[in-house]
Structure 1
Amino acid sequence: MPKNRLGKSDLYVSQLGLGCMSLGTEETKAIDIVKKALDLGINYLDTADLYDFGQNEELVGKALKGQRDKVILATKAGNKWTQGKEGWKWDPSKQHIQSAVKDSLHRLQTDYIDLYQLHGGTIDDPTEETIEAFEELKKDGYIREYGISSIRPNVIKRFVENSSMVSVMMQYSLLDTRPEEWLDYLHQNKISVIARGPLAKGLLSENGLDKLQNKFMGKGFLEYRLEELENLLPKLMNVTGDKPLQANAFHYCLAHPAVAAVIPGASSMEQLEANVHAINERSLSEKEYATIKGLVKQAYYDSHRE
């Protein structure tokens, strides 16, 4: 499977990663999916300490026994859970990040993390302190590189201007084109985009119309009303003939050189294999890309800009 360089780092990630949040908590099943992903050429796994209160990291760690050197392993921090208190508390402090990384390393059964990401962020955060925490972790060898997971323009710009981060994870798909405003800017600054949610909660898979009726219960998705989606999805399927819709979805995101990888989840072996089959289809031609771009809405993130 083709690999792309993550920013200006020495990390090369497969164009298709595995978003581990969907693995579930059934140990054997989750571990089998991760191992199969590696067998199929995926080398990039993304988890977070938030997922299933750390159990997701534990399962990933068990699955990687004996294969750690084959993987670009990413996880995230910034959400703090305290025993006996309700919910998660946002904590991007240096103290919390440098403590959280050690907990993640223990759960993942590894002594380093390839890509450590801030799991959110606001303009009111102590960003200088957060960056200092990442830089020290990198210097001490606990992490190889760092990035952020955020779609907020003011947060992204602050990190671009003040840090040596190599990636920004953003929700990006045919049905959510808000990140496109920032692709050229990030590429010019040698920072890669990691596209999460590239299948728009399954709407951009082969059974998207079924999901629209059953899972979405007559509701739309972001800026699209139900009727618009019922009209749009068949058109997107027909752009490239007999290619699966998720192939178009993946390759649309990957068409811009800023995007290093798409990371759909997979809760079953069938979903994983379908995603790998889709990424191995040919890329979109310029005409196909232009046709798709003319069909979808060009969205704009109008909050958190200053």
Structure 2
Amino acid sequence: MRYIKLNGLEVSRVGLGAMGMTAGYTGSGTDEAESIRTVHRALELGVTLIDTAEIYGPYTNEELLRRALQGRREQVVLATKFGLVSHAGKGAWNLDSGPANIRTAVEGSLKRLGTDHIDLYYQHRVDPNTPIEETAGAVGELIAEGKVRCFGLSEAGPDTIRRAHAVHPVTAVQSEYSLWTRGVEDRVLPVLRELGIGLVPFSPLGRGFLTGTIRSTDQFDEDDFRRDNPRFTGENFRRNLAIADEVQALAAEVGATPAQVALAWLLAQGDDIAPIPGTKRVARVEENTAADGITLTGDQIEKLGSLPPAAGDTHTASQAQMLER
């Protein structure tokens, strides 16, 4: 495993997203033992960046990681997020990045994770009701107190990134980025590179679509959030299968899996990018981390980059309201 620095924070080239171990996807929360084995195997393979959030569950994902990382905390750059749970009464899925809410959130995350500090603390979504300067200042205070090491943003637009960074250095911005979700390239990525901020792509495999294993939404449980995702429904789904098939064809040429090729393309976009493919299975974490050892030719990178854009939005209309790009 290679390692890179996100504005000074050293992390593994490929990280691990933990959300699906407890929430969101088919089979989530059904095999804690396998999820814990997956975390342990990731660490054996050199993965250091592990990502969670208080909203995942809510809370159960952080609690799972506490159990998985017992005796192993020093091996991990542990990232979690605040801002999608309002602790003053409104509850989960309510934006609140006010200083008081951040104070409550961080104490809860520290307790659930069983640690005395969080390595990378992200604002999960931009809160339009709280000036980003106040949010950045509040996280800066936590950093001064030693409860947090680094400040991050998730799905933030260029102006918010600049304003936050002016108050306290932003280490990384987490946004969806993959072969079929490339919106960050035009406006966000140039700002990150100008300011020296790293990029942590989530859903780098298109929520599993780019692996080539999803051929029908009948494969999903009723509570799998992809069942009503625009890219996984109706004609959009059928059109997007053609993109997955193209990735699979190129993977056959390379002698790798489609997931590995999709990740290798993303890694080729720069040494300031550390994707966090999510999984709850040992076999998948082994497959994903092996992508770091695959080198694509210039022609292969260009061919993948020239694939048509995915059909359909990345989020439902209500979810999209929380994005700032």
Q: TM-score, normalised by structure 2?
A: 0.83
The correspondence for 2:210, drawn from 191, 197, 204, is: 204
Q: How does 1:98-247 map to 2 (within 5 A)?
A: 98-181=103-186, 182-208=188-214, 210-211=215-216, 214-215=219-220, 221=231, 225-240=236-251, 241=253, 242-247=255-260
Q: Does 1:55 align with 2:60?
A: yes
Instruction: Give the SS at the match of 1:221.
Output: helix
**Are 2:158 and 2:191, in contact at CA under 8 Å, matched by a contact in 1?**
no
Tell me which of 248, 267, 270 is aligned to 1:254.
267
The one-letter amino acid of 1:284's match is: L
Q: Share of identical aligned residues, percent?
A: 30
- The Cα of 1:184 is off from its aligned counterpart by 2.6
- Cα–Cα, structure 1 residues 83 and 93, in superposed 2: closer, same or farther, change >3 Å? closer
Cα distance, 1:283 vs. partner?
2.5
Quick one: distance in 1 between partners of 2:229 and 2:118?
39
Distance (Å, rounded) in 2 between the aligned partners of 1:104 and 1:232 = 39
Q: Distance in 2 between matches of 1:29 and 1:217?
A: 24
Q: Which residue of 1 aligns with 2:317?
A: none
Q: Which amino acid aligns with 1:96?
A: N
Paired residue for 1:286, among 291, 298, 314? 298
| 1:267 has 2:265 as partner | no
Which AA in structure 2 matches 1:155? T
Write out per-residue CA displacement over residues 103-143 of structure 1, whole angstroms, 9 at most, x where no aligned residue: 11111111111101111014442212111111111111111
State how far apart, in whole Å, the 1-side matches of 2:227 and 2:74 are: 44
Instruction: State the AA in 2 paired with 1:22.
Output: G
Shift of 1:34: 1.2
CA distance in 1, matches of 2:245, 2:280: 25
Task: Mark the runs of 5 or more structure 1 residues left unpaired by the alignment.
Answer: none
User: Do the aligned partners of 2:154 and 2:175 also contact (CA within 8 Å) in 1?
Assistant: yes
With over 3 angstroms needed to count, the CA separation of the structure-2 counterparts of 1:119 and 1:84, relative to structure 1, is closer
Shift of the alpha carbon at 1:213? 7.0
Larger displacement relative to structure 2 (186-195 or 253-262)? 253-262
Give 1:189's aligned amino acid.
L
Q: Distance in 1 between matches of 2:133 and 2:156?
A: 19
Relative to structure 2, which stretch is displaced further, 44-53 or 282-291? 282-291
- Assess, with a 3 A threshold, how the Cα gap between structure 1 residues 244 and 200 changes in structure 2: closer, same or farther: same
CA separation of 1:67 and 1:217: change in aligned 2, threshold 3 A: closer
Partner SS, residue 199 of structure 1: coil
Unaligned runs of 5+ in 2: 23-28, 221-225, 315-319
TM-score (norm: length of structure 1): 0.87
The 2-side partners of 1:20 and 1:274 are apart by 16
Aligned pairs, number:
302
Aligned to 2:5: 5
Deviates more, 1:119-128 or 1:290-299: 290-299
Query: How far did residue 79 of structure 1 move?
Result: 2.4
Distance 1:70 1:174, change over 3 A: same
For 1:12-91, what aligned pairs fall within 5 Å after superposition?
12-24=10-22, 25=29, 26-81=31-86, 87-91=92-96
Distance 1:136 1:86 in 2: 24
Structure 2 CA distance for partners of 1:84 and 1:128, relative to 1, 3 Å: closer
Q: Which moved more, 1:30-39 or 1:293-302?
A: 293-302
Stretch deviating more after TM superposition (160-169 or 49-58): 160-169
